[in-house]
Structure formats: C-alpha cells, structure tokens
Amino acid sequence: MIQNIFDPDDQILFQMNINIEQAGQYAVVNNLKMYYEVHGFGKPLVLLHGGGSTIQSSFGRILPELAKSHQVIAVELQAHGHTPDIDRPLSFEQDADDVVELIRDLHINKADFMGFSNGGTTCLQIAIRHPVIVNKLVLGSTTYKREGMPPSFFDGFQHATLDNMPDQLKEAYLQANSDPLGLQRMFERDVARMKDFKDISDEEIKSIRAPALVINGDQEVVLAEHAFKLSRTLPQARLAVLPGGHGDYIGEICAAEKNSSIPYLVTAMIEDFLRQ
C-alpha cells in the first residue's frame, strides 16, 4: 500500500540552497511503514543512508545531481527519519529485505543501489540475498568485517549515550521526525546493531556478481585498507580512495569542508560507472 503525503507541486529547500521537487511517500513493507522519495527520471538508482542518518543528512548534497540522469529512489530505513520503529530487531538482513520488497512494490525488476556506511552494508546484503534485482553497486565507506574499523570503534559502543551522537545528525532526525523519543529509540537500535555486528564471509562477498564501485575516505573510521580488501574480494569491483573523512566525499552533513568540490567529482565518477 503506497500513500502519497506531498502535493506534487510542493517544493522543499535542500542543502546547498537547491530547490527540487520532493515526492515523499510511504509504503507498507513487511509490516513496516517505510518512507521513501522519488526524484528525477531514468534508470532506477536506490539510495540507502548511513546509521543514525536520514536521506538528507547522507545524500542532500549529491541527490539533486544524481536525479538529473536517474530515477532516484531514496529510502529511510526502520526507525530512521520519517520511518517509524516497529517491534522487531534491527538488522542489515532485515533492512535488505525491506528495501527489496519496496522496489518490487514499485514494479521495478532491476536497479542500481548506492549505500553509504551502514547503507553500504545493507547493499551487500541485498546483493547476497536478492541478486536478481541488482544491476550495479556503489559502496561508500562500507564495512563487511569488524576488522574494517579501528578496535576502539566497537569498544565505544559499550557505554555510548545520545550525547555521543553528532548534533548535525540529531537535528536532521528531528527535522524529519520531531519526536525526541524516536531519536532516542533510533540511537539505541543502531548501537545495539553495531555492538552485535557480524562479519560477512569472504565466500558471500565472492558470490556477488554485480559490478561494484567501492569508495572510501583516506582518513575516516572505515579503514582504507578494508575498502581495498573489499574491492579485491568482490569479483567485479573498482576502488576510489579520496582525501577526507567519513562521507566527506559525498558532502555528508558532518563533513568538515562544506564548500568542497570533491562531491561533484565523486558524482561524476558514479555517473560514469553506472553508465558503462
């Protein structure tokens, strides 16, 4: 069931002062009332945000550029942004199944998928669990083994509180959903998932036949060495390591340099990869 919640003529101001039409809708998938937006025209490209994030906080800088040549379907996953939480565990596998159910509800047989951070891990699970629906993958700052992060990363979740969450991500959530209890719930869900993070085996990664573009920063929480290993374990993958921190290369909301031109370079690189 799909419910349109925006007038087609409504306009919304995106980051970087770019006005584009927002077509926000809900679809009920696997008992979850999932929020998604459709922008632009062309081959379908599905965007999956990072942990603790929303469509806008992960992709607000580059979404308008991608929508110039794609039908961009941007999703907010369980407990994130506009999408409420429900009484079931949060997992990358469940997120993958939810996204695929949405794409099928939209009568799309095959799509490209781009994920950032946790969204990249969800992309891997989509390609493993539902390979027929995947055309190409763009994997930004994607972890598939615990060794892909510094050891202190997982230790930090043992005593994490909402105060540890970047203010920009808190504000982005509250712009989508003004309920502070929802923000706390999202934080707790993401912390629990990361504390319980399980490696994806090399055999599962090698089973992915879709061409992939692996992107990483050279000074971020996902080790560049891990991105290199992922690109070499995937059967058909290219690698790009760019200067900067976590998500700087796509202009993620926490990026230190707000006026960097690197997101435009990366968008052009993504376009070239998807066009080939």
Digit-coded pLDDT (tens) for 95-116: 999 999 999 999 999 999 999 9
Using CA atoms, how far apart are residues 258 and 164, in angstroms rounded to an integer?
Answer: 22
Q: Where are the domains of the chain?
A: 2-275
Pair of tokens at residue 229: 């290993």
Q: What is the pLDDT of residue 23?
A: 65
Using CA atoms, how far apart are residues 26 and 14, in angstroms rounded to an integer?
Answer: 20
Its pTM surpasses 0.75 = yes
CATH fourth-level superfamily of 2-275:
Alpha/Beta hydrolase fold, catalytic domain (3.40.50.1820)
Q: What is the pLDDT of residue 151?
A: 82
- β partners of residue 70: 43
Angle at CA of residue 197, ends 196 and 202, nearest 5°: 145
Using CA atoms, how far apart are residues 215 and 166, in angstroms rounded to an integer?
Answer: 23
* 128-142 residue pLDDT tens: 999 999 999 999 999
| pLDDT over threshold 50, residue 5 | no
Q: Is 169 exposed, middle or buried (CB count within 10 Å of its CB: 0-12, 13-18, 19+)?
A: buried
Q: What is the pLDDT of residue 20?
A: 36
* 143-187 residue pLDDT tens: 999 999 998 999 999 999 999 999 999 999 999 999 999 999 999
**pLDDT: which is higher, 237 or 256:** 237
| For range 39-47, the mean pLDDT | 97
Angle at CA of residue 89, ends 201 and 123, nearest 5°: 45
